[in-house]
């Protein structure tokens, strides 16, 4: 796993992506969900970052900072676009995406793990469609039939494989009254006993340096809770709703660091992949056989009649954190007697 020496660099990196993307919602006519998802893919793609100079603290600066820690840790990003079979096009979503996070420790291979997600994207709308974002702003593109379908997937395959990814403006760009309410909700949730181990201590340091502020615009939430208004998201902050940067930090720090979350469920991040976990990863990776199996389980024998929701991501983001990859292959593993 990663240590406290790595976390500040990773948080800076993901915060930069969050700020760049969530700032798009401040335009007079904000992009729609497919456009925002395309922008996220561009920001998360290493080659596009370099070519278009999208981030000041980009992937190369991140890896240079990690290299200075001296433990041969490297961070890699890849975007894959899946050419789905034409008969599957009805199930392909343009706004949603797959996410794979994998940790490859060549020195301690027993520590390796991976996690795959299907992410359903929704963006915040201004109240009345005009003016500012306030506590009446909502995720109006969510509908009950779609949400019920996602809940059914969570029941059949496991809640841990599905998330809403919610695109909102950065907190400081909400109305002043709404910012006050959001800060109060964050303070309430963050006053609980979470400051333990690497993840919790890093969050504590982050809050101290930022005057207790969490300004994130991108949030990930379980699909068992239907997105409604902006305050409902922040009421769950660091409980069941995770800011973009900290969603990744939760995966990359030790499970005991999430004492304020459901430990039993999160321990699966480090466990061997069960059949459903492998199936979801293969679906996210665009494997046609896995997609057939997913649809069969989702709707029995009438898989191709799956109604109301596209479930297959057009693109998948793969984040790989590796340790010891530069060592000679025959000498990578630590042989502990």
**DSSP code per residue over 238-287:** TTTBEEHHHHHHHHHS-GGGGTTS-HHHHGGGTSPP-HHHHHHHHHHTT-
- Which percentage of the chain shows pLDDT scores above 90? 53
Which pLDDT value is given to residue 248?
A: 94
Taking alpha carbons only, the member of 47, 36, 53 closest to residue 80 is 47
- Range picked from 9-18, 126-135, 255-264, 308-317 for highest mean pLDDT: 9-18
Weakest mean pLDDT among 154-158, 247-251, 294-298: 294-298
**84 pLDDT tier (thresholds 50, 70, 90):** low
**19 pLDDT tier (thresholds 50, 70, 90):** very high
Is 133 in a helix, a strand, or coil? coil
Region 311-319 average pLDDT: 84
Residue 270: pLDDT over 50: no
Query: Could you give phi then psi for residue 119, rounded to 5 degrees?
Result: -110, 130
| HSE-up of residue 137 (Cα within 13 Å, Cβ side) | 28
**What mean pLDDT is reported for the chain?**
84
Which pLDDT value is given to residue 183?
A: 96
CB atoms within 10 A of CB 19: 16
More confident residue, 223 or 260: 223
pTM: 0.88
Residue 265: pLDDT over 50: no
Radius of gyration of the chain (CA): 20
Residues sharing a CB contact under 8 Å with residue 213, sequence separation 6 or more, in sequence order: 171, 183, 186, 207
**97 pLDDT tier (thresholds 50, 70, 90):** confident
What confidence tens digit (pLDDT) does each residue in 141-191 have?
Answer: 887 887 888 888 888 888 999 999 999 999 999 999 999 999 999 999 988
User: With contact defined as beta carbons under 8 Å apart, do 248 and 17 qualify?
Assistant: no
Residues sharing a CB contact under 8 Å with residue 160, sequence separation 6 or more, in sequence order: 265, 268
Residue 61: pLDDT over 70: yes
Q: What is the dihedral of CA 255, 261, 262, 267, to 10 degrees?
A: -10
The tokens of 263 are what?
A: 């430990």
Region 222-241 average pLDDT: 94
């Amino acid at each position: 796993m990663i240590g406290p020496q790595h976390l500040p660099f990773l948080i800076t990196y993901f915060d930069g992506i969050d700020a760049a993307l969530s700032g798009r919602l401040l335009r007079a006519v904000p992009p729609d969900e497919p456009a925002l998802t395309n922008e996220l893919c561009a920001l998360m793609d290493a080659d596009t970052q370099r070519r278009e100079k999208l981030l000041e603290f980009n992937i190369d600066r991140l890896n240079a900072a990690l290299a200075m820690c001296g433990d041969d840790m490297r961070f890699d990003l890849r975007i894959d676009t899946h050419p789905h079979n034409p008969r599957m096009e009805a199930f392909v979503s343009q706004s949603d995406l797959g996410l794979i996070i994998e940790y490859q420790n060549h020195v301690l291979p027993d520590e390796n793990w991976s996690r795959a997600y299907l992410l359903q994207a929704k963006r915040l709308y201004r109240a009345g469609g005009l003016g500012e974002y306030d506590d009446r702003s909502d995720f109006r593109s969510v509908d009950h039939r779609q949400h019920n379908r996602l809940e059914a997937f969570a029941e059949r395959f496991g809640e841990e494989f599905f998330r809403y990814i919610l695109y909102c403006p950065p907190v400081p760009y909400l109305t002043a009254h709404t910012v006050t309410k959001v800060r109060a909700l964050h303070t309430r949730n963050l006053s609980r006993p979470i400051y333990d181990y690497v993840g919790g201590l890093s969050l504590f340091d982050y809050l101290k340096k930022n005057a207790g502020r969490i300004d994130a615009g991108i949030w990930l939430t379980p699909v068992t809770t239907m997105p409604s208004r902006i305050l409902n998201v922040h009421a769950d902050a660091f409980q069941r709703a995770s800011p973009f940067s900290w969603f990744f930090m939760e995966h990359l720090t030790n499970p005991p660091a999430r004492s304020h979350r459901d430990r039993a469920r999160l321990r699966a991040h480090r466990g061997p992949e069960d059949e459903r976990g492998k199936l979801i990863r293969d679906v996210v990776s665009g494997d046609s056989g896995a997609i057939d199996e997913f649809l069969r389980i989702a709707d029995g024998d009438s898989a191709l009649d799956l109604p109301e929701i596209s479930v297959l991501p057009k693109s998948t983001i793969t984040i790989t954190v590796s340790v010891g990859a530069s060592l000679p292959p025959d000498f990578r593993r630590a042989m502990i007697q």
